[in-house]
Structure 1
Amino acid sequence: MGDEEQHVDPKRLTSLSDIKIAYDKLCQEEVAVAERLEWSVGNRHHLEARLSQLARLVPTLQLVQADARQLENTISFTHQLANNVSAKVRQLDLAKSRVVETQARVGDLLDLEGCSGGVATALAQEDQCPPRDTLIVLGDFNATTGTVRDGYELCVGPHGSGTRNTNSSLLLNFARSRRLRIAGSWYQRPELHRWTWYSNAGGVAKEIDHILVSTRWRILQNCRVYRSAEFFGTDHRLVVATLKLHVKSRRISRGNHTVFHLEKLKDLTCAHEYAVAVSNRFDVLGALRDPVELWDTFKREIYRLPRSVLGSAEVKAWFCLDGDAGENRGESRCQAGWEPGPAQGSVTPD
């Protein structure tokens, strides 16, 4: 119902029917108010308990409110502190990256110094080596060969890479002075088999590790990079060169050696005697415990047995360098009735 129906102005009640309707409504409202009043009186104890409970909760709610305000202040302070710490951490990260770069640079300088010292020592020793020895130099030179061969045709091949810098000039001058060939520049390869160094970010790749081979002998067959052979803690790749070395064989001196009369073993009596001797010697070997002594004794006895039972003979080499060998050979031939025939191309008189 609207406000006009709930609140009727008595001055507007002119007819008896309107007065009766208004009276009935007042009676209904009176009954409703009486019921509410009766319910409130009946629940008075419950309401009082609720009010007392609320009264007891007021101090706790006040403490909660104070804690909430303190927590708000703490959160605000923590937020500000976190921002300050983040700024400091970013500064530390930047400083750490600079320190790492400096350490890497110092490490490179130390490696370069060590490499220079090693090369100087190697060159000092190389000057004392025989001239026929093959000189091979391997290392991280931190230098590219470039693609221009003018003045360095002997040491740089047609497949160089990169742009030359100061280190490149040092490398090329060193190779030219020692007549060394930079192996990687002489073979055309895919880029995956050429680059020996990759940056940590992966955006830069160069060929700075080289194998230098002497040009005196044509022993270089191939040179390439194996990118699958990655080692822990390095950004370099494995460089492998194939060389064909011509090794001169050494003659083995064939001196006098002993020949045993093994044909005597065909005789059953001699064979039985040899078997008994071997059995007796092996019984003695069973008492030895030291493996080295056992092996030495075995070799010595197994060599002495045929000499003592079968007998032996010393056989000399077929060619002797002794000065009297020719004369002795000639005398033996004359004693055997051998006469030299005519020389090749000579004429025999009638």
Structure 2
Amino acid sequence: MLVLGIESSCDETGVALVESEGEGVPRLLAHALHSQVEMHQAYGGVVPELASRDHIRRVLPLAGEVLARTGLPLADVDVVAYTRGPGLAGALLVGAGVACALGAALDVPVLGVHHLEGHLLSPFLSADPPEFPFVALLVSGGHTQLMRVDGVGRYALLGETIDDAAGEAFDKSAKLMGLGYPGGPALSRLAQEGDPEAFKLPRPLLHSGDLDFSFAGLKTAVLTQAKKLGPELPARKADLAASTQAAIVEVLVKKSLAALKATGLKRIVVAGGVGANRLLREQLDAACARRGVRVHYPELSLCTDNGAMIAMAAAMRLQSGVEAASGSYAFDVRPRWELGAVLAA
């Protein structure tokens, strides 16, 4: 079974082709991605209308690029999958519309995929795929969640952010320091030059006794510290960035370890854009190695939004019998869509 996946939830257009055979882990044949970062930099953030228009320009050429890389004709595609939500409504409609048009033209089924489930299952695209069950740390954009994963569609929420997510803390703190867009990666790069112990920043909910997250207080503390530094901020910016990153990573690592202890599991998956953070990987790897816990990540190139994770999630859902692809080409999108809504019965 060949699954063509389309991702267009925000500012990256992704297309991929995944092959599924029997009960084995589906295999990525090819993927292509276009990032809109340069286009949005002038505005300091994503402009939804511009994002939608750019998706329209990119999606079909990217699909052609993927097919050319595999040498397979479009007629060989068995299922077309797309990101149904969450995300920007206009951007989601582009992917949904193209997917359903392709499905109708090819007379094949289509399947709408939850964006976060795509991230959750993206480590299965790596050379070292995980095995069920495992704890998952989802750190993608506006979401920070810890989940117990027992199989495809069998997810139990252990804890989540109650205000700003980790990715938002990175981006908003970066903006307060004048680091531009996208802020998270810029802050992480600058942090490599600074002292992570230079400033004593809070670790919100670190000792709360639960697995929830809160990073709004950290953002406020960064703002307060930046104001205190005043004209000294440019000279101390790297130290402030390093201290901010250290606070976020410490919370993520310690909450992840607490989730492993609470569940008794010995395997953890880290997925989403923040999962590419080098300090997070180093500290989590070291902590889990001391406890005999296996850690799995998607490949660095697949941490951010991409079509491969959408095609993989669709293939795994179909393979496991959790959901049948729809033969209808009517579609809708769900800009706000809780992951719990896609749980298996």
TM-score w.r.t. length of structure 2: 0.19
The structure with more radius of gyration: 1
Higher strand share: 2
**Which structure features the higher share of helix residues?**
1
TM-score by length of 1: 0.19
